[in-house]
Amino acid sequence: MSKRESILLIVMGVGLLIGAYYYLFANQQDIGTDAKVNYQELNSTVDMVKGLANKDEFTEVERYKLELAETKWPSNPFYDREKFARQDQRQEKAELQSAEGLNLAYTGYVVMGDRELAIINGFEYERGEEIVTAEGYFVSTITKENVIIGQKNATEEIVEERVIPITEDPLNLYN
């Protein structure tokens, strides 16, 4: 054992002995039951707090904020991308009978660890996810050059697959 190690062990042992002494022997005062509680002072403090809580000293702005907090929200404040994308799709009334009529643009390929993401029409998708703007279609395969989307029928059989090549927008390439 080196000199440094032995010094550290001695300092640690002394620290343990001092800690054991304070834990076992020191600070052994008898607190007893003669602690006095002034109940009048305690009751007056409780009454003061109740009085302050019951006073209606709200300003006009605070009352307005309380009324707003109590009203029910008409819709969820959090953005739901699938819901809004489907609403946009219904507004366009695009019939998605075949993949040829789809207006899909594969504009990005992202790798994060072991996850591969394809950016299609501004949304990120993993393998197996349903395409929000094309109901009934899902991402089958993702590569750097293209993405393959598929469509399943009611028996979960793939009935159609389409290859979409990557398209880069030179205007938004570095934004």
Q: Is 125 exposed, middle or buried (0-12, 13-18, 19+ CB in 10 A)?
A: buried
The answer to whether 159 and 152 are in contact (CB under 8 A) is yes
> Global pTM?
0.40
pLDDT single digits (tens) 59-104: 888 888 888 888 877 766 666 667 667 666 655 444 434 455 678 8
- Domains and their CATH numbers in the chain: 81-165 (2.30.30)
